[in-house]
Structure 1
Amino acid sequence: MKRGSTLFLKIAVILMGAPIVALCIFFPIVAMKVASHFPELAYLQYPALIGVYATAAAFFVALYQALRLLGYIDKNIAFSDRSVLALKKIKCCAITISILYVAALPILYLFAEVDDAPGLIVIGLVIIFASTVIAVFAAVLQKLLQDAIDIKSENDLTV
């Protein structure tokens, strides 16, 4: 397969990481301003920072694995155990993000309660739902790819 065939997808993956980098840079500033405007929520500043950075770390690991998977496709080794391992890591990262946001829902509830913004909880639920869908999709692709590799190895042995 030609190298440029997955170039668009690689660019899209890199562009998906750009807003998260910006979030990681500017979120501490926002957290300090929120803590100064709402002193009753100041104790939640550090758990929120830990949650955002843990989520970002899992997200970047998943993006790196997606880039590796696209590299395998470029090199015509998409049907390999490396691809299955990359999909497994993407699935684990998506599950980690879901768990982190489920754990963060009480913090989001407290922010929504003070600021009277119920949309924060909806945003948290959307992130949980999206990462769960990604985890299920990666698991299905992982299973299909593993089955295809098994069939390919059986056919290679019979010839």
Structure 2
Amino acid sequence: MKRGTTIFLKTAVFLIRVSVLALCVFLLPWLANYTVEMFPELAYLQYPVLIGLYVTAIPLFIALYQAVRLLNYIDNNDAFSESSVKSLKLIKYCAITISILYVIGTIFLMSQNALHPGIALIGIILIFASAVISVFAGVLQKLLRNALDIKLENELTV
């Protein structure tokens, strides 16, 4: 694989990290305050929603870090290693965690009669995207595990 491809992917991961960090630091608190000004009857939901969004950012940053590690393994021609399998496993678990947290958040907002259809749509998209990433990482993990087993078997027979 050419090094330019992994540099492009590392740049994309970096831009995602910076964007999510800026969103968490600047946009989310402003948006929460704006929403409370517009809908004062929902003020009691401001902090639980913010905490929920910040908690979902933690597994996202872990998954992005693991993606960079995986790209470094690919750059170092060490893609078929136990470390790559571990990185994919952590990415899978982070994606599952994000999906679960968004499902819990959606149920919580529904129970409070505060779930706007637009927010519900965004939540469903995030749940679906995280589930797809989880399944894809799981498939790659199994594929890589099988390749490692074949590689180990070939090394033992030679």
Please give the TM-score of this superposition, normalised by the length of structure 1.
0.91
Identity of aligned residues (%): 60
Deviation at 1:62, TM superposition (A): 0.5
Q: For the residues of structure 2 that align with 1:131 and 1:150, how far apart are their CA atoms?
A: 28
Residue 118 of structure 2 corresponds to 119
Cα distance change on mapping 1:80 and 1:19 into 2, 3 Å: same
Deviation at 1:19, TM superposition (A): 2.2
Deviation at 1:42, TM superposition (A): 1.0
Deviation at 1:138, TM superposition (A): 0.3
Give per-residue Cα distances to partners, 1:110-139, cap 9 Å, x unaligned: 334xxxx41211111111001000000000
Give the alignment of 1:61-76 within 5 angstroms: 61-76=62-77
Letter in 2 for 1:131: S
Q: For the residues of structure 1 that align with 2:64 and 2:97, how far apart are their CA atoms?
A: 14
Residue 155 of structure 2 corresponds to 156
Name the Cα RMSD after superposition. 1.5
Residue 14 of structure 1 corresponds to 14
Aligned length: 155
Give per-residue Cα distances to partners, 1:74-113, cap 9 Å, x unaligned: 001100000000000000100010001000113444334x
Please give the TM-score of this superposition, normalised by the length of structure 2.
0.91
Give the alignment of 1:9-158 within 5 angstroms: 9-25=9-25, 26-109=27-110, 110-112=113-115, 117-158=116-157
Deviation at 1:4, TM superposition (A): 3.7
Deviation at 1:3, TM superposition (A): 4.1
- Uncovered stretches (5+) of structure 1, i.e. residues with no partner: none
Greater Cα shift, 17-26 or 57-66:
17-26
CA contact (8 A) 1:90 1:135 kept: yes
Q: For the residues of structure 1 that align with 2:74 and 2:109, how far apart are their CA atoms?
A: 40
Deviation at 1:2, TM superposition (A): 5.6
Greater Cα shift, 43-52 or 27-36:
27-36
Greater Cα shift, 134-143 or 16-25:
16-25
